[in-house]
């Protein structure tokens, strides 16, 4: 048995077994990423789809994803790859690719306005070794790297990848420990700490999906926005007001099909609340 140090779960994994995320395993006494180089999806996307509104707008980026996740959001849009390796392998027949091959693929798309690689779809931090190795080569090739993440990882993981990541979109899914623990199976404090440090090392935009009856109050949006506004750079300067926040509309998905879509008027109202604190607030799925 050995302990995984990627996130708050600190899974004790037996030889050949898998952690909670279904993507980390123990091999020869060492915890490694079982999903290293195993890709379930590629797409050349507009950068705005990540979503990133203030990082090279109008450009495209090669999006890649693997399988596995350390949260269990009941509204997950990619549950077929996030909730289990077996499902991902059966449906998508995950293709193996080396960091070198992925960088070459990204370079081949430069003529199509591709600026780099986005690690997305599942939770990329649980396979941070592949992100680190690929992003390092990508930088050497003159490409940019983007991470789309739930931000549920130890700061040691952030330190490993930070030199090679140019921008992140991080989910700030709500602003109560109860919501993170009860609904998402996450860790609120770990996510906040991750965001606090990420804004010091790269461009960061945040996303909050508004779930009816869960995180949809004006009071909570004020708490989220005022906390974002308080964020500081590595020199201690307040930079939070300029950090973009994406407020997105929920649609019934996966195990939350019993809820109704978020009212559009509510999304716009919450965006107006956020604008009292932040300069860049965007609405999504409306």
Q: Domains in the chain, ordered, with CATH?
A: 2-284 (3.20.20.70)
Query: What digits encode the pLDDT tens for the residues 136-195?
Result: 999 999 999 999 999 999 999 999 999 999 999 999 999 999 999 999 999 999 999 999
Q: Residue 72: what pLDDT?
A: 94
Q: How far apart are CA 4 and CA 179, in angstroms?
A: 25
- Mean pLDDT of the region 98-113: 98
Point out which residues pair with 120 in neighbouring strands.
Answer: none
- Mean pLDDT of the region 1-22: 96
Q: Where in the chain does DSSP place strands (E)?
A: 2-3, 12-13, 24-27, 30-33, 38-39, 41-46, 60-65, 95-96, 114-119, 144-149, 167-171, 203-210, 245-249, 281-284
């Amino acid at each position: 048995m050995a302990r995984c140090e990627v996130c708050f779960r600190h899974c004790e994994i037996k030889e050949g077994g898998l952690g909670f995320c279904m993507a980390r395993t123990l091999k020869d006494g060492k915890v490694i990423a079982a999903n290293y180089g195993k890709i379930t999806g590629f797409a050349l996307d507009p950068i705005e789809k990540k979503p990133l509104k203030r990082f090279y707008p109008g450009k495209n980026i090669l999006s890649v994803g693997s399988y596995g996740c350390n949260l269990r959001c009941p509204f997950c849009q990619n549950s077929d790859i996030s909730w289990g390796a077996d499902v991902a392998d059966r449906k998508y027949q995950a293709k193996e690719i080396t960091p070198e091959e992925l960088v070459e693929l990204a370079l081949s798309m430069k003529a199509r306005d591709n600026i780099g690689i986005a690690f997305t779809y599942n939770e990329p931090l649980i396979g941070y070794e592949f992100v680190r190795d690929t992003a390092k080569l990508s930088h050497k090739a003159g490409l940019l790297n983007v991470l789309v993440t739930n931000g549920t990882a130890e700061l040691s993981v952030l330190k490993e990848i930070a030199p090679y990541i140019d921008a992140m979109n991080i989910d700030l899914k709500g602003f109560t420990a109860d919501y993170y623990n009860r609904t998402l199976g996450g860790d609120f404090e770990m996510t906040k700490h991750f965001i606090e440090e990420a804004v010091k090392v790269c461009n960061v935009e945040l996303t909050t999906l508004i779930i009816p009856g869960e995180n949809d109050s004006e009071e909570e949006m004020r708490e989220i926005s005022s906390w974002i506004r308080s964020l500081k750079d590595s020199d201690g300067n307040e930079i939070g007001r300029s950090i973009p926040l994406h407020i997105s509309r929920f649609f019934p998905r996966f195990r939350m099909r019993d809820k109704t879509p978020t009212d559009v008027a509510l999304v716009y109202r919450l965006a107006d609340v956020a604008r009292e604190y932040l300069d860049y607030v965007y609405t999504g799925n409306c």
